[in-house]
Amino acid sequence: MIKFDQSTPIYIQIMQKIKADIVSGKLKGGDKLPSVREISESFKVNPNTVQRVFIELEREGITYPQRGIGTFVCEGPEVINQLKTTLAMGYTKRFMDEMIELGLSENEIIECIKKVVEGSKDENT
């Protein structure tokens, strides 16, 4: 059972997960999202909460409904790129906030990033 972070509403966390899946390519443009019931069963959350997720995703233009069939991920690279940017900026901002709280300067932060990137390159080769 996925544990939910207690500082954010559950529906927002589910939305984050779905958005991340779209950006990473697990969910492609035009794919059908699982039904409200399926998501509620697999995440073990209240169906009305899931319903809210769907409403918000539609509102943000990330998905669109087809009556009688289901909810689909919007096609078109602009939507996905926009999402990618928003998510990436969000993660980066969080990262920056935490690093600044540690007391690192901008250069030190960039050094850290370079080291990690080099390190993962070595791992991959």
CA distance 124 to 83: 27
Rule CB under 8 A: is residue 7 a binding residue for other proteins?
yes
Give whichever of 35 and 82 is closer to other proteins, judged by the CB atom: 35
55 binds other proteins, rule: CB under 8 A: no
CB of 108 to other proteins, least distance (A): 33
Query: For other proteins, which residue of 18, 22, 33, 45 counts as binding (CB under 8 A)?
Result: 45
62 contact partners, CB below 8 Å, separation of at least 6: 19, 22, 73, 74, 79, 83
Residue 9 within binding range of other proteins, rule CB under 8 A: yes
User: Can you give the length of the chain in residues?
Assistant: 125
